[in-house]
Amino acid sequence: MTDGIALALFLLGVSLGVVGNWIKPPRKLTDRWLVGIFALLLVAGSVFTFLEGRLPGGQPSPPRAEATTVPAQVPTMPVPSSASATPTPTASVRPSANPKATPNPATRSTAARPGASGKNNGTPRSPYVAASKFQRFGGTHGPFTLVADGTTLRIDTPDSNDSQWGAYLKDHMMCDGTVEFDVRLGAGAVDYYGLAVLPRGGLDNDQATGDAIILYLDSDGSFIAKFSSLPTPGVGGVGGGSYPVADLRQTRHVVVSARGSTYSVKVDGIPAGEFAETESVGCGKLTLAAWGGATAHIEDVLVR
């Protein structure tokens, strides 16, 4: 570019020298020729200057360096695929989509346990006797209602003190043991209505037989407990007599124990007598009997 400008200025100076008569032209050149040479030189200089300002192949010259200079970049080294490489945020916080991922041991369910049937039905085994295991008795002495639902028995008796109605545990023989349950007595229409508990009972003529703890309404309107023998209730046994207990028209917890020749009873944790049977019966079946129009609501029977 600098050489082209210098050449153009040289030619321009020569032309000016010829025109200004600084350089003597040949005598054969007329003024017209001089003007033509001068014009030709001007055109040639202009064309040369124009062509000098373009890149080879007709490409435009690049922009000025100071306007488009790009800062030098530091060469980057390839990052090795190792544990030191920083993971992307999304990869570190997204939960695993694998459906077979191992669950947290703390969240494992413990509710699925073998039920009363021995199958894994998700229901814990109940310690209480199923009401369906009881067999009714007394129906030949008058119609009555026995309802068994879950661990609840309901004995609805006729208005009579001449017989007893109830249920016995048909598949369990007891020799020495304890039975406990919750009970509430619906008032009967006949005086002395109540409930008898025979841990080692039997049946004769569709009636409960054996030594029993009876809980019933006394003549003064209070409830008492005593030892007796069925089918005919009556005070008997060594240490016999009656003992006051809480009002059985509200739900009470009753515990009756038969050990050897000794029977004992508690109502709501309060002892209500300890008796010795008159004759050893040996073993028998848990029997629950009611009478006098009472409705006995018995729940959660536990035999041990």
* pLDDT one-digit tens code per residue, 114-170: 344 444 455 667 899 999 999 999 999 999 999 999 999 999 999 998 999 999 998
Rounded Cα–Cα distance for residues 55 and 68 (Å): 18
Mean predicted confidence (pLDDT) in 260-288: 88
Residue with tokens 């240490």: 239
> Worst-scoring range by mean pLDDT, 14-28, 31-45, 136-150?
14-28
Taking all residues of the chain, what is their mean pLDDT, rounded to a whole number? Answer: 75
pLDDT of residue 278: 62
Instruction: Identify the three-state secondary structure at position 235.
Output: strand
Instruction: Identify the three-state secondary structure at position 121.
Output: coil
Among 246, 254, 252, 251, smallest CA distance to 212 is for 254
> What's the distance, CA 121 to chain centroid?
17
* pLDDT one-digit tens code per residue, 91-119: 343 444 444 444 443 333 333 333 444 44
Model confidence, pTM: 0.59
Going by the DSSP 8-state scheme, the letter that residue 16 receives in this structure is: H
What is the helix, strand, coil percentage profile of the chain, to 5? 20, 35, 45
Q: In degrees rounded to 5, what are phi and psi of residue 242?
A: -120, 150
- Tell me if 156 sits within 8 A of 144, measured CB to CB: yes
pLDDT at 239 over 70: no
- Tell me if 289 sits within 8 A of 165, measured CB to CB: yes
Rounded Cα–Cα distance for residues 70 and 155 (Å): 101
Give the CA distances from residue 56 to residues 1, 6, 8, 62, 76, in Å, rounded to whole numbers and listed in that order: 13, 21, 20, 12, 35
